[in-house]
Chain A
Amino acid sequence: MSSGAPVYLDYAATSPADPRVAAAMSECLTRDGVFGNPSSMHQHGRLARECVERARAQAAALIHVQPRQLVWTSGATESNNLAILGTARATAKRGRHLVTARTEHKSVLDPCHRLEHEGFQVTYLDTDHEGLIAPERVRAALRDDTVLVSIMHVNNEIGVLQDIAAIAAICQERAVPLHVDAAQSAGKVAVDVARLRCDLLSFTAHKLYGPKGIGALYFAPARRASLQPLMFGGGQERGLRSGTLAVHQIVGFGVACELAAAAWPTDAERCERLRARLWLGLQALDGVLLNGHATRRVAGILNVSFTGIEGESLLMGLSELSLSTGSACTSDNDEPSYVLRALGRDTELAQSSLRFSFGRYSCEEDIDVAIAAVTREVRRLRAVAP
C-alpha cells in the first residue's frame, strides 16, 4: 500500500492484478508481442491461439476439468447469464422451472427475473439465519419440470460456503443440472468440479488477482447441447460465445489461475489469521454481530453489523479504509442488503453492516488500522445517537 492511501479491505469486490499477471498481459498487446487474432490462420494468429489454449489449460487446472470444457466470457456476470438463460431457453420444451436462492448474486437473480418475464417459474429458496441452504430444501423445491438449479459456492456478502456436493447429489438423483457461481471461491478454496459434481460453474479473473473483463464458464460435456448462446457473430468458442477473443485478458486470467492454484492454501491460511484478529479486535466493542455462519465460510470475508449505528455514516467516517457496507448507500437507493434481510436481520442491523474482505496483500498492520478506525467511529456515532 502506498503511504497515505486507504487500507484496501475490499478484495471481495475486486483484487489488484498480480504483477506477474500484468507482465504476461503486456506481452500480448504491442507489435513485438502476441497481438494477433487467435481466429486467424497466419502465424500471428496461431501464436495467439497457442496463448489462449495455454491459458485455457491453466484455468481448467484450477477447477480440475478438461480445457475443452471451458468457454471464455467477459466475467462471472456473463457466465451466470449464459448458464441460466442459455440452459433455460435451450431446454424450455422439457420444462420451465428453475430453483435458486434469495441470497444469490444479482447476476443470478436478474436472469431468473428475466426468465419469469418469459414465462418460466422460479423458486427462490430461503436460507437459515446463518446464510446456509439446507440441501433438503433443494430437494423439496425440485419439480418434474425443473430444468436448472443455481446455487452459489461462496456468498459474496457474508462469505458462507454452501454444501454444493450435497446439493449436487440431490440434483443428480432427479437428473436436474446444477449451476454454481464460484466467483468468490475459485482461487480461494479448493474448487474441484469432480468433487462438487456440478454441471456448470462460473468464475472470473479479477477476484483472483487477474484482470477485470474476463471470466469463464465450465460446462459438463453432456451440457453442451443444452446451452443456447447469448451472443452471435463469428462463432468463436464453438459457437457458445461469439466475439474476437481478448488474448491479453485471457492470458492474464490463465497466469492468475496458475498462481492461485499454487498460492491459495497459503493465502487462505493467512486470511484466516487476519480475519480472526479483526473479529477479536471488533468484539471489544459492544453490540457487534457476525453475519453468516461462524465456521462454514471462506477465509477472506468478515461481515459484521453494529447495533445503534447507521451504516452509511459509519462507512463515510472510515476514510482511511476502502471497504463495503450492507447498505447500498452510494447509490440513491436506501434499501439495506437483501442478503442480510434474507438472514432475518432487521432493517437497522442490515443497514449497519460492514463487509471486510482481505487477500494476498493484506497484512496485520492493515487489520490493526481497521480495528482502530472502526472502534473510533462506532463510539463517536453511538455518542451522537438519541
Chain B
Amino acid sequence: MNPGTVNSGAEDPLGPQVRVLFAALRHAGEPAAAAITARVLCGEAGREQRGTRVRFMLRLVGDRLVEVRYRAYGCPYTLAACEWLAQQLESGGRDSIGGPAEWAQKLRIPPARLGRLLVVEDALRAALAAADKTMTDS
C-alpha cells in the first residue's frame, strides 16, 4: 500500500473547527503552579497502545470550577475535542458540554472517530465524578 498520504490541498481533511483547535492547544498542560494548593481533581481513560489516552484536571475553588487542563495522546480529533471541552467547561460550566454525539456534530468530527470521543468522555466524566465526590465529602 501507499501509506496514508496528506497534503495541504484545497480541502483540509480535518475541517476548519478541528484545525483551529488542534493548532492551538491552549489548555493542554498542568493547572497553574501557583494554584496547586487548591483542589485539583483528575480523571483519566484510554491507553496509548489503543491509540488514545486522555487525562483531565479540574481545579476547584470551593465548589467553583475555575480551571480545566488536560493532557492527551491521540489523533487530531481527540486533541481538538479536549481543547474544545476545556474551553466550554471554563466558560459555560459542566451543563454546557453535552455528550460525544453533540461534540462530533459541533466540531464536524467523522462518525468513524466517535470511539475516540468516548475515551475523551470517560476521562472527563471521571474527573467530574471526582469533583462531585470532593464537593460532597466537604
Binding site for B on A (CB under 8 A): 6, 8, 10, 12-13, 105-106, 156-157, 308, 310, 312-313, 315-317, 319-320, 322-332, 334, 337-338, 346-348, 351, 355, 380, 383-386
B residues less than 8 Å from A329 (CB atoms): 4, 6, 75
Minimum CB–CB distance for B41 against chain A, Å: 16
Q: Are B2 and A310 in contact (CB under 8 A)?
A: no
Distance in angstroms between the alpha carbons of A157 and B29 in the assembled complex: 34
Query: Given the interface contacts A330-B13, A348-B49, does A13 sit within 8 Å of B5 by beta carbon?
Result: yes
A residues less than 8 Å from B74 (CB atoms): 310, 313
A residues less than 8 Å from B14 (CB atoms): 316
Q: For A328, A331, A346, which residue has the most chain B Cβ atoms within 10 angstroms?
A: A328
Query: Given the interface contacts A6-B7, A319-B8, does A386 sit within 8 Å of B2 by beta carbon?
Result: no
Q: Are B3 and A384 in contact (CB under 8 A)?
A: no
Is B72 at the interface (CB under 8 A from chain A)?
Answer: yes
Give 22 pairs: A residue, B residue, CB < 8 Å, sorted on A: A6-B8, A156-B1, A308-B73, A310-B75, A313-B22, A313-B75, A317-B23, A319-B8, A320-B8, A322-B5, A322-B7, A322-B8, A329-B6, A330-B4, A330-B6, A331-B4, A334-B51, A338-B1, A348-B49, A384-B73, A384-B79, A386-B53
Query: Given the interface contacts A312-B76, A313-B76, A330-B13, does A337 sit within 8 Å of B22 by beta carbon?
Result: no
Count how many pairs of residues, one from A and one from B, have CB atoms less than 8 Å apart in the complex.
101
B residues less than 8 Å from A325 (CB atoms): 3-4, 6
Distance in angstroms between the alpha carbons of A308 and B44 in the assembled complex: 17
Contact size range, B: 20 to 34
Is B112 at the interface (CB under 8 A from chain A)?
Answer: yes
Q: For A13, A105, A334, A346, which residue has the most chain B Cβ atoms within 10 angstroms?
A: A334
Distance in angstroms between the alpha carbons of A28 and B29 in the assembled complex: 60
Minimum CB–CB distance for B94 against chain A, Å: 22
The residue that B3 contacts in the complex, of A319, A328, A347, A348, with Cβ under 8 A, is A328
Is B55 at the interface (CB under 8 A from chain A)?
Answer: yes
Is B39 at the interface (CB under 8 A from chain A)?
Answer: no
Is B124 at the interface (CB under 8 A from chain A)?
Answer: no
Q: Are A386 and B71 in contact (CB under 8 A)?
A: yes
Q: Are A384 and B25 in contact (CB under 8 A)?
A: yes
Query: Given the interface contacts A332-B112, A334-B51, A346-B49, does A385 sit within 8 Å of B3 by beta carbon?
Result: no
Distance in angstroms between the alpha carbons of A329 and B4 in the assembled complex: 6
Minimum CB–CB distance for A352 against chain B, Å: 10
The residue that A13 contacts in the complex, of B2, B8, B49, B79, with Cβ under 8 A, is B2
Is B54 at the interface (CB under 8 A from chain A)?
Answer: yes
A residues less than 8 Å from B51 (CB atoms): 310, 334, 347, 351
Distance in angstroms between the alpha carbons of A320 and B8 in the assembled complex: 7
Cβ-closest chain A residue relative to B28? A384
4 A-B pairs with least C-beta separation:
A322-B7, A332-B112, A330-B4, A324-B3
Q: For A106, A323, A329, A355, which residue has the most chain B Cβ atoms within 10 angstroms?
A: A329
- 10 further A-B contacts with Cβ under 8 Å, apart from A10-B7, A347-B49, A347-B51, are A308-B48, A310-B74, A312-B4, A312-B76, A316-B14, A322-B8, A331-B4, A355-B3, A384-B25, A386-B71
Cβ-closest chain B residue relative to A348? B48
Distance in angstroms between the alpha carbons of A383 and B70 in the assembled complex: 11
Minimum CB–CB distance for A373 against chain B, Å: 12
Distance in angstroms between the alpha carbons of A190 and B48 in the assembled complex: 42
